[in-house]
Structure 1
């Protein structure tokens, strides 16, 4: 790494070897995230971590390490996601609120580990779910929308606030024709619901999840199964909502019963419908934004809690797909889709 001639060095001393190992991560992975995110160089010398870079960058990296060390002192062992979150907050100048993210445990997972929000966007999302009947989570993959929706649903079930959890998604074909896949409709769409199953297994465990599904306490089904039902005392989650048609979205939202909550998650940059402008998620935001007890929460690349490269990939695609040429191509694709629709009708 190239460092300016006016670079400065700050040293953070660590009390114990265990603290040092947890702080720097396996193969110094945590330090690597800090180095790349804040443009500094680091070196571990004995019980010290030396940080070198510009005055501002060095100070930011030092504060990030202090914040992570403070978590350790509270009994919370920071993982890669925590480091990424701290670095992003330091970049935005909001690191002072980092500790607030860990002030509340949402629930404990199957291993007994506390589940907490990782970003400010996730905090807004959880607060919206708590205080509204319907919450929309809109943003890119990797922001924790699906996982947190399942966490909040399980927490509500355990607290006795609801009697069942219902998870659904539109059965949009992803390169394969569902009609040629073996099994009934549910078996055909189960592979597309894998993120939901993974989240449930992480929170409840595989065996407990299976038992609740056998008893009908947890229901995972295609969106088509929701028609004609009223979901009372239920926590309903609609995933991949960008691929609902406008009629499907209206159908789902009007299933809301008494003592129930709904979460609708989607990424408008990944619409698989032939006519993207007719996505039910896009229309819902246009007409429901000011409706009481409905809240829209938007996630950005700053909320991506996967490998930092994922956020860079999303940002690069956003730049590529928002350019003049890409907008023109999108308009042309939309016109072609509408032409084919009119041709089919005739």
Structure 2
């Protein structure tokens, strides 16, 4: 079967095909079709069962290009995976969603349906939990939402915190004053703020007390009104720390708690405050729990595969441990 898609926008056509036709080659590989362009037309040859999906993908990408979006391999692969599960029509919502503009004129938007649902949950709830693997944009999008709320005068200040827990290794003695000692733990938060606000604006706001980036221990004993408060790396809080944090916010405040429950760096025997909060608060109205998956990863395509492989391995390990435990119990009963 041959399908002709008329497209007179030659600049969009060039962007669609990508450098050395890498975008089109990706589509061809997934659907075993041949795609070429001639005189403002895109010609697709292949299995009739695949042609309609390919046409939908091309139309979605063309509309994204015309909306000013960057089309890279991550975008192409995400559109392909979304169309394959029958959710292609929902991608249009991503072009309409807009959070904030950086100092360099870059538009910050959600890149996946999961990210879009996440920012909508932040808008609609006083407390939102963002739970998912690394690379899903939990921290960056939360910071972008905080900056937007601040610029729109919805809050008077932004407070971002995270527990100072070493990721499975000892950093030893760190020189300098207290701020210099904790800064390495907070670096990802600074990076997000620098990218969105620019270093000069961030430093100005920080000096005036409008933005505060601090370890979680600094939150104890405070009541935070009219603030946008973000707790990052929440899987590394203890139950006591999480309870302390969630009882800090006051009137006019919004809270976002982010974490990855597959990467807990607490000492053995300590239960994660994030895991505990999911159990304790799952039925409380006004609190939203948003779960992002490997499909929402916006890093290198291999990162998705790595996350998926680890998840699969850990599930097999849990299943094996459960069966072993049950087998030992059964043997113990027999011996009695």
TM-score normalized with structure 1 length: 0.86
Gap change, CA 1:246 and 1:325, over 3 Å in 2 = closer
Counterpart of 2:297?
304
Distance (whole Å) between structure 2 residues aligned to residue 108 and residue 75 of structure 1: 14
Q: Does structure 1 residue 248 correspond to structure 2 residue 241?
A: yes
Q: 1:108 Cα shift?
A: 1.2
Structure 1 stretches of 5 or more lacking a match? 1-7, 333-346
- Could you tell me how far 1:196 is from its partner in structure 2? 1.6
- Of 184-193 and 167-176, more deviation after overlay is shown by 184-193
Alignment partner of 1:99 out of 92, 95, 100: 92
Q: Is the 8 A contact 2:238 2:270 kept in 1?
A: no
Using the TM superposition, give the Cα deviation of residue 129 of structure 1 relative to its aligned residue in structure 2, in angstroms. 0.7
Contact persistence 2:242–2:274 (CA under 8 A):
yes
Structure 1 consecutive aligned stretches of length 4 or more whose deviation exceeds 6 Å: none
| Shift, 1:295, TM fit | 0.6
Q: Retained in 1: the 8 A contact 2:36–2:44?
A: no
What is the CA–CA distance in structure 1 between the aligned matches of 2:3 and 2:187, rounded to whole Å? 46
Q: Which residue of structure 1 aligns with residue 17 of structure 2?
A: 24
Pick from 187, 201, 209: which aligns with 2:202?
A: 209
Q: What pairs up with 1:82-121 in 2 under 5 angstroms?
A: 82-121=75-114
How do residues 39-54 of structure 1 correspond to structure 2 at under 5 angstroms?
A: 39-46=31-38, 47-54=40-47
Alignment CA distance shift 1:243-1:32 (3 Å)? farther
**Corresponding residue for 1:270?**
263
Query: How far apart, CA to CA, are the structure 2 residues paired with 1:32 and 1:225?
Result: 52
Is the 8 Å Cα contact of residues 106 and 116 (structure 1) preserved in structure 2? Answer: yes
Describe the SS at the equivalent of 1:93: coil
The separation in 2 between residues aligned to 1:56 and 1:270, in whole angstroms, is 41
What is the CA–CA distance in structure 2 between the aligned matches of 1:77 and 1:218, rounded to whole Å?
A: 30
2:59 equivalent in structure 1: 66
Q: Bigger shift: 287-296 or 195-204?
A: 195-204
C-alpha distance 95-161 of structure 1, shift in aligned 2 (>3 A):
same
Distance 1:52 1:264 in 2: 48
Shift of the 300–53 alpha-carbon distance from structure 1 to 2, 3 Å rule, reads farther
Say what the alpha-carbon RMSD is for the aligned residues: 2.3
Q: Which moved more, 1:312-321 or 1:179-188?
A: 179-188
* Cα separation, 2, equivalents of 1:31 and 1:185: 52
Report the number of matched residues: 323
Alignment map for 1:149-160 (pairs within 5 Å): 149-160=142-153
Name the CA distance, whole Å, in 1 between partners of 2:105 and 2:204. 19
The structural deviation recorded for 1:84 is 3.1
Q: Is the contact made by 2:135 and 2:299 (CA closer than 8 Å) also made in structure 1?
A: yes
What's the secondary structure of 1:322's corresponding residue? helix
Gaps of 5+ in 2: 326-336
Q: Distance in 1 between matches of 2:298 and 2:218?
A: 32
Residue by residue over 1:179-225, the C-alpha shift from the partner in whole angstroms, topping out at 9 and shown as x without a partner, is: 51222333223223232222212211121112111211111111111
TM-aligned CA distance change 1:283 to 1:152, over 3 Å: same
Name the residue aligned to 1:343.
none
Which residue of 1 is the match for residue 331 of structure 2? none
CA drift at 1:294: 0.7
- Per-residue deviation at 1:127? 1.3
Structure 1 residues 327, 256: closer, same or farther in 2, change over 3 A?
farther
1:272-326 per-position Cα deviation (integer Å, ceiling 9, x unaligned): 1123760000000001011121110001112112222221111111111110467
Residue 166 (str. 1) matches residue 159 (str. 2) = yes
